[in-house]
Amino acid sequence: MPRALTTRELDVLRLLCQGLSAREIAAALGISPYTVAAHRANIKKATGTRKTAQLIVHALERGLVRLQAD
């Protein structure tokens, strides 16, 4: 069973779903790009996804993120 994501993991996930790179996410959150990569790996493990595209679909389907109208 997938575990709940931490607040920081949700922050990373939301920015990832906005199309930001690891470097951009790191700058926005004040963390290292390596930490972003670790969070992304933990998020994928927690959600049972293997690819970023799967992760984004998972997040949208479960209401973890919302599409924003331009």
Q: How many CA atoms lie within 13 A of 24 on its CB side?
A: 9
pLDDT at 70: 60
The pLDDT value recorded for residue 65 is 87
Numbers of helices and strands, H then E, in the chain: 4, 0
Q: For position 54, what pLDDT does the model report? A: 93
* Distance separating alpha carbons of residues 70 and 42, to the nearest angstrom: 30
Q: Quick count: other Cβ atoms within 10 Å of Cβ 66?
A: 10
Q: Mind listing the pLDDT tens digit of every residue in the chain (70 residues)?
A: 567 899 999 999 999 999 999 999 999 999 999 999 999 999 999 999 999 999 999 999 999 888 776 6
Domains of the chain: 7-61 (1.10.10.10)
- Report pTM: 0.87
